[in-house]
Structure 1
């Protein structure tokens, strides 16, 4: 059974989440903000891939160290690839189904907070990066961000939510989608 482990790391006192997906046949690391030793210390099996939700500095600060420590292939959306500084990568695309370590990762292109942002759907759960935060959404007042795009992205991920869907964000605790629907004022109305 697949388990998504939240690893909270500190980047100059700013907390950011990294996720280690413990799948049946190995581990997948999602994002690599800081503290590579802590990230790699959470690994239980062979790391078969490193995935990136978006390329802001707080999500890639330890990327080089994690990649060299795992020798795993690196997956990123082409619109975010240049910002990582990593020359060799596997491109992510809308609707792509990655089969990694015996688990399926569905890729949704969810820009708005940053160019090339993606959400990974794992079972009924979603690793959303900074698309959704507890009681909020990712900032749209920074370069490359757009409220219009974030709203389109939210309308893409929200119809997939079930009562027990968990949302794994780049910052803060793991959220239940149904609780965010009830309390998050930034989420658009769900249209049936």
Structure 2
């Protein structure tokens, strides 16, 4: 897989175009702002967009959906608990396939009820569940610290240390990281009880 990581908008978001190298079939993850940049990458590389995938329903990750649908004719994929308009729903353990590539869906609620991470080919697209050096906030509607604790420690903590992490925002010291590095250096990922985590998150 080739990953195009595109900084977009006023909230330091990342949009992604993930390309299957064998077929040029691709997916867009979280289109929001700067859509012309996405269009340019698609055109310059002659990519065929199979799906538009949202890591969760917040506006800063979905506001470009309709425009990209109009441009690419690709259907929108979201978690089954999303409240937004979509064409295909996925649940934990499903795979999103494009060309000869596939990404596994991990349901990781906490930042929002419908938050997902996508894992495959040595990569994880972590949305707003986990950032470089931090995690997604829980004080927005649908946020839940207890759910985030279980997403971080029951799901993400058990993943391969070598997975390269592509977050939903550029909030850290680097644009990408690895799960292993986050386990070592991210304060949020240090082992603690659920109650200690809830106290820390306020």
Same fold by TM-score greater than 0.5: yes
Q: Which runs of 5+ in 1 are unaligned?
A: none
Q: Matched residues in 2 for 1:149 and 1:79: separation? A: 14
Task: State the secondary structure of the residue aligned to 1:66.
Answer: helix
Q: Which residue of 2 aligns with 1:119?
A: 117
Q: Matched residues in 2 for 1:118 and 1:174: separation? A: 18
| 1:16-58 Cα shifts (integer Å, max 9, x gaps) | 1011101132111111121211122222311111111001111
Q: Which residue of 2 aligns with 1:178?
A: 180
Compute the displacement of 1:5 (Å): 1.5
Task: State the secondary structure of the residue aligned to 2:188.
Answer: coil
Matches within 5 A, 1:14-163: 14-23=11-20, 24-25=22-23, 26-43=25-42, 44=45, 45-80=47-82, 82=83, 84=84, 86=85, 88-155=86-153, 156-162=155-161
Q: TM-score, normalised by structure 1?
A: 0.89
Q: Which residue of 2 aligns with 1:165?
A: 163
How many residues are paired up?
182
Give runs of ≥4 in structure 1 deviating > 3 Å: none
Q: TM-score, normalised by structure 2?
A: 0.85
Task: State the secondary structure of the residue aligned to 2:102.
Answer: strand
Rg bigger for which structure? Answer: 2
Q: Which runs of 5+ in 2 are unaligned?
A: 193-202
